[in-house]
Structure 1
Amino acid sequence: MYCLACQDEIIIQITWANLFQLSQPTAICEECAAGLKLLEGGRCKKCSRTTEEVICSDCLFWERQAEMNTIEFNYSVFVYNEKIQDIVAKWKYRGDYALGEVFRDYVSRAFRKRFSFLNKESLAVPIPLSTERAMERGFNQAYQLADFLPIASSNVLSRKHGEKQSKKSRMERIATENPFFIRKSINKAVVLVDDIYTTGTTLRHAAQLLKQHGCPNVYAFTLIRG
């Protein structure tokens, strides 16, 4: 068994505590797992930004933008650091689909902890890539993350092709026009799924469209809080 992140062999020390759990495969070694930093402690209740404030200044800004105040809250799993940056670069930009399995258990546990209040009819809606970007990468990482969740997912959103968000400044991201269009209406709660929350603009654009087409409540669940 080898670590998906570093390719080193995973050697499991057998103890009485783990004797009956050996049949469960481990996707990541202890050293790589130690480099991933879970979001803990104080966080903004709206966007998961690390802060001691109840609502951060970014979210207060969005609350003043009525048309874009479309998400109940975002919940993120990891802090953005060098280790997760390295793993995500290999996973997302080098087409290493299997590497996404590193995040399966983390994502599943975090979702069950924070979104236990949702009923079984709720839907996960992954943030789509444009057709051109999907062909370039080979897969959409948000679709894979949505598959880790205990609720059904629906690919009801599509995306126009445009410049990568990572190449834009913060203000350019905030000023971006809505890049999405929707294929059908949804009249139940939705959890938008994406790999990273940076300014929140992309998620809010998607939520805006969903709410315009009958969705009563939109939440967001992201792997990383940038």
Structure 2
Amino acid sequence: MNKIETLCLLCSQPLQPVISWKMLLTNYFQPTICDKCSARFEHSPTATALYQYNEAMKDYLHQYKFLQDVALAKVFRQELYARFKNEKATIIPISMHPIKQKERTFSHMEELLKAANIPFIQLLEKTTTETQSSKNRVERVQTAPLFRLMVGAHVEHKQYLLFDDIKTTGTTLRHASEILLHAGARNVQSFTLING
């Protein structure tokens, strides 16, 4: 019988398969990157993000989002599962404009949550194809509303948690939060993969 070799999704080095009772009896995911690649990501000191932005994260985002490597959604699934598994708030990933999603072929925020088996709903629709990363700090702060409620969306009077890939000025999260609060949400918090 041939053994299937699993490779690190970032550097293509062979991964040593780990079979344990913990993996078999819990929601423990098989690692998708090697320890060397994992060590390149810097954990965030804040409670509202998993990681800090650095060169390793810049490379990861480029490959995942812009080179459309959807397999990389699995890289942080264990950490995201651990963070969200007991979350009481309804999770809403920050949405992409439909044109951008068609270009990229997948919603990078939704794929991160799917890879970690985290339930979510979508209530927001992006109103512009402009990216915040193409703007300077002043332009980001002064930007027009980025979102609207989806047609037929119903915002309940309860707590929601917005999930985005990176927070720099917080403009995207602020705009999304304002739409939800105005529509009747009791409380809106946010969490990001990366603190910029």
TM-score range, shorter chain: 0.7 to 0.9
Aligned residues between the structures = 184
Q: TM-score, normalised by structure 1?
A: 0.74
Using the aligned pairs only, state the percent identity: 32
Deviation at residue 150 of structure 1 after TM alignment: 6.7
Cα-to-partner distance string for 1:17-46 (whole Å, 9 max, x where unaligned): x75467652211011011111113xx4xxx
Cα pair distance change 1:207/1:149, threshold 3 Å: farther
Counterparts of 2:116 and 2:144, CA distance in 1: 29
The runs of 5 or more residues in structure 1 that have no matched partner are 49-74
**Partner deviation per Cα, 1:41-91 (whole Å, 9 max, x = no partner):** xx4xxxx6xxxxxxxxxxxxxxxxxxxxxxxxxx10001111111111101
The residue aligned with 1:39 is 44
Correspondence 1:214 to 2:184? yes
Alignment of structure 1 residues 1-226 onto 2, 5 Å: 1-11=6-16, 20=21, 25-40=30-45, 43=46, 75-112=48-85, 116=86, 118-119=87-88, 122-147=89-114, 152-183=119-150, 184-187=153-156, 188-226=158-196
8 Å contact 1:185–1:215 — kept in the other structure?
no
Q: Which runs of 4+ in 1 moved over 6 A?
A: none
Matching residue's letter, 2:189: Y
CA change 1:167–1:155 in 2 (3 A) is: same
Quote how far apart the aligned CAs of 1:109 are: 1.8
Displacement of 1:181 in angstroms is 0.8
CA distance in 2, matches of 1:128, 1:87: 20
1:214, 1:149 → 2: CA distance? 29
Q: Spell out, residue by residue over 1:71-123, the C-alpha distance to the aligned partner (whole angstroms, 9 max, x if none).
A: xxxx10001111111111101111111111001011122335xxx5x53xx31
Unaligned runs of 5+ in 2: 1-5
Judged with a 3 Å threshold, the aligned counterparts in structure 2 of structure 1 residues 19 and 153 are, in CA distance, closer, same or farther, namely closer
Q: Distance between the aligned counterparts of 2:129 and 2:20, measured in 1?
A: 51
Greater strand proportion: 2
Q: Is the 8 A contact 2:160 2:188 kept in 1?
A: yes
1:158 alignment partner, SS class = strand
Pairwise CA distance, 1:163: 2.0
